[in-house]
Structure 1
Amino acid sequence: MTGVPDLLDFDELLTDDERAVRDRVRAFVDARVRPDIADWYDRAEFPVALIPELAELGVLGMHLTGYGCPARSAVEYGLAAMELEAGDSGLRTFVSVQGSLAMSAIHKHGSEEQKQHWLPRMARGEVIGCFGLTEPQSGSDPSSMTTFARREGDTWVINGAKRWIGLASIAHIAIVWAQTDDGVRGFIVPTETAGFVATPIAPKMSMRASIQCDITLTDVRVPADAQLPEARGLRGPFSCLNEARYGIGWGVIGAARDSYETALRYSLSRVQFNTPIAGFQLTQQKLVDMAIEIEKAQLVALRLGRLKDAGKLQPHQISVAKLSNTRAAIAIARESRTILGGNGVAAEYSPMRHAANLESVRTYEGTDEVHTLVLGAHITGIPAFRPSAEGAA
């Protein structure tokens, strides 16, 4: 027997359509990602050639409706994120940056003209977007951003810097968040605009099969209609971040499950002292503990998905999944590596790669500390940090 035992009959909680989406994305990952991911990771290469196939798979802007977007449910998107991250966190991150951040920003806050112009091409993978919020000195506290957009007649002039911006060096447009005289606003900035420079960050010890960049904006001039008209204050970017955090709550389960499955298969075939190591009590305890944590994480994610599809999901509930599921996934990846022994450091086995990736996932879209304090404030009614009134929403 291999794979995660469905200890709680989780599949029975899914509809036929949900299982079909999951199985289709899983088959794609098995065929197009697993054979090459170790090499991509080793060479620090993001598989750009897969972008049209991901579009054909229907996972770009998957949960968005209209404008050529797939209009799948939140649960279906979550299941797809889980299967993509079972391949590699970098793959799920690409889909998240494109759909949950860049496309969501336009879908939620853009004008009708902006939506019509950009979203169909982004859903087809013809236009790649990135999301410029984090700055070199502004991560957990985006209210302290220093990037500034100044209005000059019929144009905006943007100056500043962003850091750890996924996809920026291959993106066609950047959603750039900047201070203005009227507070934080968002702008659609074509990356070919003079003064926009994206530089991949290297070397990296994590997310190697992914792209993260530094961005500099030097007198970047865009027309007045580049502004996202419905995004005012930090509620604009935070609404997009919540979309991405939701997907992470599902995605990390895929990394955990793949680590577990790798360790289980190995333990059944690795013979020591004339018996498979899966027959030893300590190994079985590790496998049982990991399987239970995966089941629990799936139930948390599914609960959030059902709430989101019902229009009832609250930000603090997203923090539960981002914090708990990511923390569990890292522990599972690390424990899986111990079952592999010395072979666990070889690239042909996934747990150590997943563990390294998950250190980045643990940090982006809100650190453990930030999500802990979000939940602490919700439980006690007393904020232990001082975000802006807008950002706390």
Structure 2
Amino acid sequence: MVDFRLGDELEELRASVRQFAREQVAPVIADHYENKTFPYDVVRQMGKMGLFGLPFPEESGGMGGDYFALCIALEELARVDSSVAVTLEAAVSLGAMPIYRYGTPAQRERWLPALLSGEALAGFGLTEPGSGSDAAGITTRAVLDEATGEWVINGNKAFITNSGTDITSLVTVMAATGTNPDGSRELSTIIVPSGTPGFTVAPQYSKVGWCASDTHELFFDDVRVPAENLLGVRGRGFAQFLRILDEGRIAIAALSVGLAQGCVDESVSYAKQRVAFGRPIGDNQAVQFLIADMELRAHLARLGYYDAAARMLAGEDFKRYAAIAKLNASNAAMENSRYATQVHGGYGFMNESAVGRFYRDAKILEVGEGTSEVQRMLIARGLGL
């Protein structure tokens, strides 16, 4: 029998994160969003709750949960705010997960305790100004100096989340480290600790959305790090990252569902309270149908990421299903934010309103961690086309 209901432990997690989001995030996030400040206090509280360690085993300092538990937490956070949700998502899937999956025992011992407790954050430097969807076209280079036993890194990265906070401890950098026998570039990943000479973090971007999250351009000018900072196998950096990215798409789908459901929450509440022509606007069938369609999109998108996560945890090939989940959920978030703004009218166009923030935050979900066009390519390839 197929059962999409959550067990007691996951329901308890959902309830606790929902309460935290409503009581601790909602009252403060508008000011952080408007002032473009990073919510350190919120992140600290999430660390105490164990959210950064959710999908990691206890022996590594985690909470002993799985990736689906992380997705449940992301959905609940995003129902209130996406900046906080993406901070957690990137910290886990792009920051700590590569260290956990591909790091040496020494690398794990050094970096994971602080990352899994939320005391530190990490970024993943893949995207460049001229290399987004064409991730294999990166130009950042790392040369191994045999005399000193150090990697020398030159290049720059763009749009890197969690890369410039006061608690950022490292950035993992994808770089070309040589040439393969077939003439293609050898791509590897290298850990660069924050504060390394030559590693410069540019000022915070001025963004349309996710205004309370941390995003920077990074520059590497003859940055030297020890040879043992190589993460995983030399020349396997891109293959390693593709696995991380597939998992991350499920997490972004969960975040997108949270935003889509948050639009439903806000619209139902507003439709009951807002009176026009002598009655609540929720009494009007036109408004009811708008909100019904919003709930439909959120519900179906949720089932999509549940399915992709279940396949991943079962050890099945989940790439196509992660792409389906991410594509559908990001579409749902975008459409629901538009509908919610319509329901709220002028109030929905104000930055101080939750749906105003939802509207600004939704678009990046169709771009980040693989554009909608890339997801369609992956789905088509999964069908043998």
With normalisation by structure 1, the TM-score equals 0.91
Q: Is 1:39–2:5 an aligned residue pair? A: no
**Residues in 1 aligned to 2:72 and 2:163: alpha-carbon distance in whole angstroms:** 26
Partner of 1:191: 194
Picking from 113, 117, 120, the partner of 1:120 is 113
> How much has 1:51 moved relative to structure 2?
2.2
Q: 1:313 to 1:250 in 2, by over 3 A?
A: farther
Contact 2:174 2:237 in 1 (8 A): no
Deviation at 1:313, TM superposition (A): 4.6
Pick which of 187-196 and 63-72 moved more. 63-72
Q: Which residue of 1 aligns with 2:183?
A: none
Spell out, residue by residue over 1:276-299, the C-alpha distance to the aligned partner (whole angstroms, 9 max, x if none): 110111011111111111111121
Letter of the structure 2 residue corresponding to residue 223 of structure 1: P
- 342, 346, 351: which one pairs with 1:347? 351
CA contact (8 A) 1:18 1:75 kept: no
Partner of 2:182: none
Per-residue deviation, residues 183-219 of structure 1 (Å, max 9, x unmatched): 1111111111000011134322111111110000000
- Asked whether the 8 Å contact 2:188–2:233 carries over to 1, the reply is no
**TM-score, structure 2 as length reference:** 0.93
**Counterpart in 1 of 2:324?**
320
> Which of 256, 259, 262 is equivalent to 2:260?
256
Distance 2:82 2:362 in 1: 7
Are residues 1:268 and 2:265 paired? no
Q: Does 1:330 align with 2:345?
A: no
Q: Which amino acid aligns with 1:17?
A: E
Aligned to 2:217: 214
Unaligned runs of 5+ in 2: 180-185
Q: 1:378 offset after TM fit, Å? A: 1.8
Provide the secondary structure at the position in 2 that maps to 1:189.
strand
Question: Match for residue 93 of structure 2?
Answer: 100
Alignment of 1:63-102 (within 5 A): 63-65=55-57, 66-102=59-95
| Counterpart in the other structure of 1:390 | none
Whole-Å separation in 2 of the counterparts to 1:87 and 1:270: 21
Q: CA RMSD in A?
A: 1.4
Moved more, 333-342 or 123-132: 123-132
**Can you list the C-alpha shifts for 1:10-57, whole angstroms capped at 9, x where unaligned?**
9x7110111001111111111111001111111111202222211111
Secondary structure at the counterpart of residue 72 of structure 1: coil
Alignment of 1:8-23 (within 5 A): 13-23=5-15
- Match of 2:136, as an amino acid? S
1:372-383 equivalence runs, <5 A: 372-379=376-383, 381-382=384-385
Q: Displacement of 1:300 after TM fit?
A: 1.3
Identity over the aligned pairs, expressed in percent? Answer: 30
Which residue of 2 is the match for residue 177 of structure 1?
A: 174
Aligned partner letter, 2:160: I
Distance 2:376 2:92 in 1: 26
Q: Which residue of 2 aligns with 1:283?
A: 287
Aligned residues of 2:142 and 2:152 also touching (Cα < 8 A):
yes
Q: Deviation string for 1:315-338 (max 9, x for gaps)? A: 111000110011011101110110
Contact 1:173 1:190 in 2 (8 A): yes
2:132 paired residue number: 139
CA contact (8 A) 2:53 2:61 kept: no
Residues in 2 aligned to 1:311 and 1:71: alpha-carbon distance in whole angstroms: 18
Contact 1:168-1:212 within 8 A present in 2 as well: yes
Quote the Cα distance in structure 2 between the aligned partners of 1:126 and 1:259: 31
**4+ residue segments displaced more than 3 Å:** none
